[in-house]
Amino acid sequence: MKSEPVSTSPRERFLFLGSSLVLAVALVVGMAREQQWGTRWLPLHLISSNATGLRPGQEVRISGIPVGTVQTLELQANGQVKVRLRVQERHADLIGPKSVASLGQEGLVGDHFVVISSDPQQSSDTNRPVERSLPYEQPLAINNLMHRLIDTQTELQATLRNTTRLTERELPATLNTMNKLATTLERETAATTPGLRQALQQLSSTGRSAEQTAQDAQQLLRLSQPLLISTLQDLEAVASSSRRILESLQQLLGWSNDAPKSSD
């Protein structure tokens, strides 16, 4: 049994063609936006001794914003690598003499991208070079860094083992010596403390006795001083009376002050 052909109206055919045309236009617009057709570009290049981490198609970023892509990598005769970049020309004023290119990465295992440090300049469309050259900072060699880290960790572990071994060997002897010293000091302190306390008590008693004796002597001197003065005055008066009595006797007996002469 034969199937009859499906008839389509002109309206349906126009709708089909129109929708196909709209899809084609949308596809072209999407491709143009993806490829940035009509965008003016500023060519750049940098020289690297090693192209590790660099590849065509990578993003070029300024201040974290994508502004271009990596175009090609060319191996030079001297073994260095020439990396050609392109940056949107409207961002060209952000690239100046102090700008430096380096390699960045999203996290620890993400994609790499080229970073250009910004050095804003005054806008000038004239005398703009056809292609600029940027200095490039080589990224750290992760493998060498990991090897150094492993070597450092090995040396640190060996140092810790030696320190632990030395501590286990020397620390008990040191603690034993300190224990003996503490015991000796405690014993000597216990033996000398009573004698020292007694000596201090005797010294204190002697000091108090000497102070008391000095005070008694001073008091005795104060008490005996008037009596001594009175006695001296009495002795002086007795001596004066005795001298007068002698002088009276000499006059009475006819004695002179000279020695008596013998009679003829």
Q: Could you report the per-residue pLDDT of 2-48, keeping only the tens digit for each?
A: 555 555 677 777 777 777 778 877 776 666 565 555 578 889 999 99
* Gap between the Cα atoms of 232 and 153, Å rounded: 105
Contact 72, 85 (CB under 8 A): no
* CA–CA distances in Å: residue 50 to residues 72, 99, 115, 211, 257: 14, 20, 16, 98, 143
Contact 49, 135 (CB under 8 A): no
* pLDDT at residue 113 is higher than 90: yes
| Average pLDDT of the residues in 100-124 | 86
State the Rg of the chain over Cα. Answer: 61
* Gap between the Cα atoms of 75 and 92, Å rounded: 26
Q: Which of 22, 151, 25, 36 has its CA nearest to residue 89?
A: 36
Per-residue pLDDT, 101: 92
* pLDDT at residue 145 is higher than 70: no
* pLDDT at residue 1 is higher than 70: no
Across all residues in the chain, what is the average pLDDT?
Answer: 78
The residues pairing with 46 across neighbouring beta strands, listed in sequence order, are 83, 134
Kind of pairing, strands 132-134 and 41-48? parallel
